[in-house]
Structure 1
């Protein structure tokens, strides 16, 4: 018997994920491939075709009713992204035309089935946005490591490296970051030039891998690291408040990204939301499920079916259900 389904795709700089979901909200298959960012990934078109093939191979006898692609580096109707997605879609002989939006809107839909709300994404980079009807209506930051991404993992790592260098050369206060970041980068302890060479040898995105070392130092009580973590949390809270309607929390607030899943930054941002705005965030699940949820809505399915996809977190993280954050 042929199953009517929707397809959701969430594409980032390093990986692309796909979910095939029935009209009733049951996940039939998943797929995973390389990055699909329109500006930084090697082969976005190849990633889209690969991820679709992988998911469809396990989905069985299906008819696709709708599809939504959340594409990193794109926006609603972005001509390059639409062309790349459409070429991959047609190469597989799939019917109709997928809806293309950005991965920020998908992140919100992966945490809430509401039509509108606010999302804070903090991982390698950082951005806050107000999302309405599957598209970003307003955003703050997300400008990349050189010009922004304040409070992100890369931002924290750079702040930690600057503090470490200042500690070694005498400009700054003593901090265990000098030793910990030197060890993480396999540079010579106490040698500024060795630390500088090791840092510059890595692509900026990879420097974000040092953020857990800064967070761990903060948890262990290092004053300098604690100040960096507090500053990061404050910047993320400012960005969130900038894009949110007044009052913040009137619509759902969604957290997405590794930096907000656990640790001192996540704890500080949650506490700031609670004490300043009296709200508790939801946590995004797999972005492919968020994209599938939007596809369900676009195909005429009720909000409740989209919400069913998010139930692994669902009631436990929904402030309207009286629960706490996982």
Structure 2
């Protein structure tokens, strides 16, 4: 458990109530304390922006401290283990409040990977446990895609593509949520890190076999990373973390794309898939915003150049914007909306569940 101090509230005037944001994902658990205040109210009106102008997203209160756990919350037969989450969350929250001199917290928002399909235990236990320990009766339980959306765009209409090992697109017109993909590496996640890595390894094995569509450059990189190609199935198939292993090869595809047409075509197809997911969920109307978030986009120009072109073709009326923050920022945005009665994001079972409103 590692505390990290933050810069405090950025608003001006009298501070508002304290809120907690929780981000539970595959890489660990983060818990943030923030104070709402003027200038950070997440329910503000959408900004007026000239056509084509890029705007920053955001609107969340800034964390005054973040506590980080490096191990993810485990899952069991009932889904995400609420007991194990509470074992970390409650002492950390009490410590955050004590160090900040805060008497109470007005709202808590928990974003968790798998909330939609594995969150029954959390929904059954967290609201009562948080009320009993912290005295809070305003609780939001959100899918990690929702907190990624809120972190990237705040409470504005638009679409967010969250991409790393997998990929999911989430859009809202503030009346309902729409999602595309996020089906995992066997059934979907098209254009994701796992998809790119798998396509790159397939091209490597095609070159090894002498089949059309192979890439000698990718074969050389596969041998350098994984060893002799004949042993690749045995090293890959038994792994429980196959998507992550596949995704680990995606940067190799990007590195080869400058001089290898096969690698370049893989990234072009990935960009097309990602843009198709964004187009499927983008709400109607001109000037809707699109934000990209997640580790896949750190791949940089080899992916972003074809992706910009695909987005311009498939969503010519939408406007790309920079993501304002990450899923922990999104959890604080939702919590602040609950605390100040300004939550505009739609409540929907499995996506964004609220209690005490």
**TM-score normalized with structure 1 length:** 0.80
- 1:234 matched to 2:272? The reply is yes
Paired positions, count: 295
Q: Distance in 2 between matches of 1:84 and 1:270?
A: 43
Q: Is contact 1:107-1:284 (8 Å) kept?
A: no
Q: What is residue 199 of structure 1 aligned with on the other side?
A: 236
1:120-139 superposed Cα distances (whole Å, 9 cap, x missing partner): 11101111111355x96111
Q: Is contact 2:161-2:168 (8 Å) kept?
A: yes
Q: Distance in 2 between matches of 1:26 and 1:161?
A: 42
Q: CA deviation at 1:52?
A: 4.8
Q: CA deviation at 1:272?
A: 2.7
Q: What is residue 80 of structure 1 aligned with on the other side?
A: 121
Q: Is contact 2:80-2:121 (8 Å) kept?
A: no
Q: Distance in 2 between matches of 1:130 and 1:251?
A: 10
> Structure 1 residue aligned with 2:336, among 276, 287, 296?
296
Unmatched runs of 5 consecutive residues or more in structure 1: 304-326
1 or 2 for the larger relative contact order (CA 8 Å, sep ≥6)? 2
Q: Distance in 2 between matches of 1:289 and 1:256?
A: 12
The structure-2 alpha-carbon separation of the partners of 1:93 and 1:64, relative to structure 1 and needing over 3 Å to count, comes to: closer
The structure-2 alpha-carbon separation of the partners of 1:168 and 1:26, relative to structure 1 and needing over 3 Å to count, comes to: closer
Secondary structure of 1:85's partner?
helix
Q: Distance in 2 between matches of 1:246 and 1:175?
A: 44
Q: What pairs with 1:2-13 in structure 2 (closer than 5 Å)? A: 4-13=17-26
- 1:14 matched to 2:27? The reply is yes
Q: Distance in 1 between matches of 2:274 and 2:189?
A: 9
Q: Distance in 2 between matches of 1:73 and 1:97?
A: 21
Q: Is contact 2:254-2:299 (8 Å) kept?
A: no
1:234-288 superposed Cα distances (whole Å, 9 cap, x missing partner): 00001110111234x6322221111124422233223432455252232252311
- 1:215 matched to 2:254? The reply is yes
> Structure 2 residue aligned with 1:272, among 283, 301, 310?
310
- 1:29 matched to 2:65? The reply is yes
Secondary structure of 2:296's partner?
helix
The structure-2 alpha-carbon separation of the partners of 1:23 and 1:242, relative to structure 1 and needing over 3 Å to count, comes to: same
Q: Is contact 1:36-1:48 (8 Å) kept?
A: no
Q: Distance in 2 between matches of 1:136 and 1:124?
A: 26
The structure-2 alpha-carbon separation of the partners of 1:243 and 1:20, relative to structure 1 and needing over 3 Å to count, comes to: same
The structure-2 alpha-carbon separation of the partners of 1:289 and 1:180, relative to structure 1 and needing over 3 Å to count, comes to: same
Q: Distance in 2 between matches of 1:84 and 1:176?
A: 52
Unmatched runs of 5 consecutive residues or more in structure 2: 1-14, 38-60, 344-357
- 1:146 matched to 2:186? The reply is yes
Q: CA deviation at 1:43?
A: 4.7
The structure-2 alpha-carbon separation of the partners of 1:79 and 1:171, relative to structure 1 and needing over 3 Å to count, comes to: same
Q: Is contact 1:154-1:211 (8 Å) kept?
A: yes
Q: Distance in 2 between matches of 1:181 and 1:56?
A: 48
Q: CA deviation at 1:94?
A: 4.1
Q: CA deviation at 1:290?
A: 1.0
The structure-2 alpha-carbon separation of the partners of 1:302 and 1:19, relative to structure 1 and needing over 3 Å to count, comes to: same
Q: CA deviation at 1:56?
A: 4.1
Secondary structure of 1:69's partner?
strand
Q: CA deviation at 1:147?
A: 0.7
Q: What pairs with 1:169-188 in structure 2 (closer than 5 Å)? A: 169-172=209-212, 173-185=214-226, 187-188=227-228
Q: Is contact 1:108-1:118 (8 Å) kept?
A: yes
Q: What is residue 84 of structure 2 aligned with on the other side?
A: 46
Alignment RMSD: 2.9
**TM-score normalized with structure 2 length:** 0.74
1:180-205 superposed Cα distances (whole Å, 9 cap, x missing partner): 022112x12xxx32222223244213
> Structure 1 residue aligned with 2:136, among 88, 92, 95?
95
51-60 vs 220-229, greater mean Cα deviation: 51-60
Secondary structure of 1:280's partner?
strand
